[in-house]
């Protein structure tokens, strides 16, 4: 789980252990404060001279209680006023993840029994993407585990540090080595990409860190033709039309499935969807904007929610008489929900009978009832009843607060309803829900941890990437992260109407093997 999910789980489970002066009410809501929110607060409290960025950092990094940890009276009063303001909001208390982090840190320092139980629960701790750990998160790790017998492994890559704007540490691994007496091991094999792409990655990596070690490519080249190129277009219409035609050809000729072609943008995925989706649709292709919200949750986040992972296999069993993967997934998840031992054959057999009977009932409804949103809502409700709402909420701490559960519940219902429109059958509905045969669109930050056969950078120009420069490591890190998502091919769409080329970047990429191609020629044999 993420740091935020972990701290929220701890807060919801042990809220009453937080000293009363800072304890949030049970019905708090998650807040995502903006710079404007901080500016308004500071102005309201007569401190417009205080930098909102520095104040936000102070909230995230200052240990509780302020009465004991902050010496300067004016700073202490301002921080406490913010905390009080958030708890006293007219529509209910608002708590940001930065505040939750500080609350859990305070709880662990105040309650040795909870800290001891936590250490016994987690004898092994694996910290992924450690390069983006914030100061507050690292402080919490120290509070929770430093001096314990827990065994730690921190994995990451400083070249992929892209969350500095959100408070990521400048030297997370150095701090970890010093604080936990850790031993460094360099992982120098790339199992995702083939030699040509790894060679380009190495050039970008050296721009970030001249001392970076050579990486061995272990991925296999499986395509003919160019594997990395800059596509130059004169205008936006030419750009969208040619990209759509190129993807259509690649799909028709069996080189790649639509869901294995990712379109990555620096930001404003919704605007790109508005521009690109209609053109792709004209060519029989569907764009899936994973950044788009359904209700109050992004599609990309909804797809990995526990509720989705429990409900979707059961719906698939209703839609298909033979779906062995869905059967296995449904059985595993329901077995975990019911806390059934893998050795208890009697209970497992009963669970299998229940799943079989329920899936047959679903199949009957899907066969006899019309394919519409009303039936979709009913199927979702029946499946949720079969699983058991309370059982689900007890098994997953992130759902214990009604607002959190409803956010995911409503998002699932809305997306399922959207997928019903123009679907030919229920399997088609579920394929759409999962994003099968749809071209994923996402920001580069949300591509982290994923991989795709082919990656297309949409809008690589000096206007869109205005902050990308050799001196700004975090932007270059973002570019590196996005490029390393590609398994077989990576292309850059550069449109003159959007902005000028990024000269220094092209001077870096072209000698490394990236080709220049006139956009009108990308679909020539």
- Residue 198 is predicted with a pLDDT of 92
Q: How far apart are CA 261 and CA 257, in angstroms?
A: 7
Render pLDDT for 330-351 as a digit per residue (tens, 0 to 9): 998 988 888 777 677 787 888 8
Strand partners, 297: 294
Which two structure tokens, joined as six digits, stand for 418?
A: 């959207």
- Residue 525 is predicted with a pLDDT of 62
Render pLDDT for 448-492 as a digit per residue (tens, 0 to 9): 889 999 999 998 888 888 877 777 777 888 888 889 999 999 999
Length of the chain: 525
- Overall average pLDDT of the 263-273 stretch: 92
Q: How far apart are CA 464 and CA 353, in angstroms?
A: 56
pTM score of the predicted model: 0.78
Render pLDDT for 499-511 as a digit per residue (tens, 0 to 9): 888 888 888 899 9
Q: How far apart are CA 18 and CA 104, in angstroms?
A: 8
- Residue 27 is predicted with a pLDDT of 85
Fold designation for 195-286+437-521:
Rossmann fold (3.40.50)
Q: Say yes or no to pLDDT of 11 above 90.
A: yes
Percentage of the chain modeled with pLDDT above 90: 57
Domain ranges, ordered by start, for the chain? 3-110, 122-180, 195-286+437-521, 299-434
Label the pairing between strands 297-298 and 293-294.
antiparallel
Q: How far apart are CA 519 and CA 510, in angstroms?
A: 17
Angle between helices 172-180 and 135-145 (to 10 degrees): 10
| Dihedral of alpha carbons 143, 144, 150, 155, sign | negative
What pLDDT band is residue 160 in, cutting at 50, 70 and 90?
confident
Three state DSSP letters for 337-398: HCCCCCCCHHHHHHHHHHHHHHHHHHHHHHHHCCCCHHHHHHHHHHHHHHHCHHHHHHHCHH
Planar angle of CA 212, 222, 456, nearest 5 degrees = 65
Q: What is the DSSP code string of 249-290? A: HHHHTTS--GGGEEEEESS-HHHHHHHHHHHHHHTT--EEET
Are the CB atoms for 485 and 491 separated by under 8 Å? no
- Overall average pLDDT of the 35-41 stretch: 91
């Amino acid at each position: 789980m993420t740091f935020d999910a972990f701290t929220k789980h701890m807060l919801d489970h042990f809220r009453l252990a937080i000293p009363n002066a800072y304890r949030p009410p049970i019905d708090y809501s998650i807040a995502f404060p903006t710079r404007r929110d901080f500016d308004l607060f500071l102005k309201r409290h007569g401190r417009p001279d205080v930098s909102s960025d520095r104040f936000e950092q102070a909230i995230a990094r200052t240990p509780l209680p302020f009465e004991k940890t902050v010496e300067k009276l004016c700073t202490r009063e301002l921080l406490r006023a913010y905390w009080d303001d958030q708890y006293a909001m007219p529509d209910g208390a608002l708590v940001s993840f930065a505040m939750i982090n500080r609350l859990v840190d305070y709880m662990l320092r105040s309650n040795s029994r909870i800290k001891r139980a936590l250490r016994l629960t987690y004898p092994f701790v694996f910290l992924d993407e450690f390069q983006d750990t914030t100061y507050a998160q690292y402080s919490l790790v120290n509070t929770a585990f430093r001096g314990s017998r827990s065994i730690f492994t921190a994995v990451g890559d400083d070249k992929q540090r892209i969350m500095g704007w959100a408070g990521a540490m400048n030297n997370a691994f150095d701090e970890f080595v010093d604080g936990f007496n850790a031993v460094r091991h360099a992982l120098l094999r790339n199992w995702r990409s083939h030699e040509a792409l790894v060679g380009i990655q190495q050039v970008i990596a050296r721009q970030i860190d001249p001392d970076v070690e050579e990486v061995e490519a272990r991925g296999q080249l499986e395509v003919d033709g160019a594997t990395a190129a800059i596509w130059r277009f004169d205008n936006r219409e030419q750009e969208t039309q040619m990209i759509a035609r190129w993807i259509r050809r690649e799909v028709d000729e069996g080189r790649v499935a639509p869901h294995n072609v990712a379109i990555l943008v620096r930001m404003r995925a919704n605007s790109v969807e508005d521009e690109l989706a209609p053109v792709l649709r004209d060519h029989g292709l569907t764009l899936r904007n994973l950044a788009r919200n359904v209700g109050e949750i992004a599609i990309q986040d909804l797809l990995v929610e526990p509720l989705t992972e429990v409900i979707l296999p059961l719906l698939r069993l209703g839609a298909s008489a033979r779906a062995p993967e869905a059967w296995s997934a449904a059985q595993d998840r329901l077995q975990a929900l019911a806390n059934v031992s893998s050795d208890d054959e009697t209970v497992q057999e009963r669970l299998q009978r229940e799943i079989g009977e329920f899936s047959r009932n679903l199949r009957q409804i899907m066969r006899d009832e019309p394919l519409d949103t009303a039936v979709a809502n009913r199927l979702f409700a029946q499946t949720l009843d079969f699983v058991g709402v309370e059982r689900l909420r007890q098994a997953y701490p992130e759902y214990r607060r009604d607002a959190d559960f409803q956010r995911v519940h409503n998002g699932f219902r809305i997306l399922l309803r959207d997928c019903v429109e123009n679907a030919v059958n229920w399997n088609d509905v579920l394929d759409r829900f999962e994003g099968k045969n749809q071209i994923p669109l996402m920001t580069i930050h949300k591509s982290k941890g994923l991989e795709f056969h082919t990656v297309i950078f949409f809008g690589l120009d000096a206007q869109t990437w205005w902050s990308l420069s050799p001196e700004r490591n975090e932007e270059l890190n973002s570019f590196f992260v996005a490029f390393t998502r590609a398994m077989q091919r990576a292309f850059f769409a550069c449109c003159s109407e959007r902005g000028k080329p990024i000269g220094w970047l092209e001077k870096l990429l072209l000698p490394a093997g990236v080709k220049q191609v006139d956009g009108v020629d990308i679909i020539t044999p």
